[in-house]
Structure 1
Amino acid sequence: MKKLIAGNWKMNGSLATNEALMLALAQGLSTRPDCDIAVCVPAIYLAQVQALKSAHLGLSVIELGAQDVSAQAAGAYTGEVSAAMLKDMGCRYVTVGHSERRQYHFETDALVADKAKAALAVGLTPIVCIGETLAEREAGRTEEVVKRQLAAVIHTNGHCISEIVLAYEPVWAIGTGKTASPEEAQAVHAVLRAQLKAATDQSARVKILYGGSMNAANAALLLAQPDIDGGLLGGAALKAPDFLTIIAAAHV
């Protein structure tokens, strides 16, 4: 199974900086990489990035992704963006349940599961983010928390669970410069892998990414772990040299 390196731009970018970043990636991807690649960009820039992908051959290997999706299919939901709209804009992926959405927008496990279901219904691949806070880790509740978060998605999506991508992002490591050690990350990924195996006989199809300050310096060790199938990057995805270094480290 190919690894997946996905960049989450968060609320960053401009027309000028987006173009510069994508062109730098195009130059660095002159040969086909050994992994799958995606960039999850702010919704307002989806059209720009899709146009850049169409105009530059080197960007054809990068899949387009969004950062959030409505659980509703259509209707009077001002400010929301539906899964069908994202599909219409050329997206393949969409992140759901990122800790920043859970924290700042009070998204529940049930809502995250419904958003994943909405994405799957139109053929998008949801990148379902789960992870524990520092307080939960220090209380010894990491396994309990991540299993609860994943269980909600399994319950709502049933046999379709094999079509998701899962991203373990310990909240205490996101944007802090702190990173779970390769052994700590692998231990949680192994728990998630076992939970998926219990839910579907197609669990081997599910990529489990690690997020939480993966960078050019630590990516190779993290990606060498048996149950880490790629990375969901934040700050490193905004720097072409770092993004390209991590892509190069993501061997099959």
Structure 2
Amino acid sequence: MVEESFKYVILIGDISTINRTRRHQSPPSHPFRSLLSHSPEVVVSPSYVFLPLVKDLLRPDFHIAAQNCWVKKGGAFTGEVRDARQYGHSLGHSERRALLNESNEFVGDKVAYALSQGLKVIACIGETLEQRESGSTMDVVTAQTKAISAETLNEILYWGSKDK
């Protein structure tokens, strides 16, 4: 059973992932340095190539997450992120599900593998605009969530913000 006492986590992603250069990455990230001076945990998820740059721009208490990782250890998987160990990972992005045909089961496998390697994970769950407009949101979200085991879901829900 998933515990209900936890602080909230604010997630900030950069949806213009491929369209940015190093020169353009600083402006959207810079304002996050002063964002929220109180207790919420903040996780920023820039494009993989900008992880070190954005990490240097953020306050030290902010977390950073890569936007993907691969599902297996080792091997030649061109373009895939294997393990950016100093960062968390956000997995199951809607565009990867839609454009790269990442199934709910595949995303569930990636989440389980990343956690088994000691990585922190944000599992992206959600419907497309078309699914929302057709009234199938709950079916979509339920199917995506069921592909991730209950034990795994409990690990994901707490990025490190469990009340002690």
TM-score grouping bracket, smaller chain normalisation: 0.7 to 0.9
Unaligned runs of 5+ in 2: 1-5
Structure 1 107/43 Cα, relative in aligned 2: closer, same or farther at 3 Å?
same
2:148 aligns to what SS in structure 1?
Answer: helix
Contact 2:120 2:159 in 1 (8 A): no
Q: Does 1:144 align with 2:139?
A: yes
Over residues 156-199 of structure 1, what are the superposed CA-to-partner deviations in whole Å (9 max), with x where a residue is unaligned?
xx52321114xxxxxxxxxxxxxxxxxxxxxxxxxxxxxxxxxx
Contact 1:32 1:61 in 2 (8 A): no
Q: State the 1:34 CA deviation.
A: 2.2
Over residues 22-44 of structure 1, what are the superposed CA-to-partner deviations in whole Å (9 max), with x where a residue is unaligned?
44332x24x73221001101111
Equivalent residues in 2 for 1:75-114, closer than 5 Å: 75-82=75-82, 85-87=83-85, 90-91=86-87, 93-114=88-109
Pick the structure with greater CA Rg.
1
- Which position in structure 1 is the counterpart of 2:42? 37
Structure (1/2) with the larger helix percentage: 1
Unaligned runs of 5+ in 1: 54-58, 166-204, 208-252
Structure 1 21/149 Cα, relative in aligned 2: closer, same or farther at 3 Å?
closer
2:124 aligns to what SS in structure 1?
Answer: strand
What value does the CA root-mean-square deviation take over the aligned residues? 2.4
One-letter amino acid of the counterpart of residue 122, structure 2: I
Q: State the 1:102 CA deviation.
A: 0.7
| Overall identity of the aligned pairs, in % | 31
- Which position in structure 2 is the counterpart of 1:164? 156
TM-score (norm 2): 0.80
Structure 1 segments (4+ residues) deviating >4 Å: none
The CA distance in 2 between the partners of 1:23 and 1:71, in whole Å, is 32
- Out of 19, 41, 49, the residue aligned to residue 54 of structure 2 is 49
One-letter amino acid of the counterpart of residue 35, structure 1: P
TM-score (norm 1): 0.54
Equivalent residues in 2 for 1:1-252, closer than 5 Å: 1-10=6-15, 11=17, 12-26=19-33, 28-29=34-35, 32-53=37-58, 59-82=59-82, 85-87=83-85, 90-91=86-87, 93-154=88-149, 158-165=150-157, 205=158
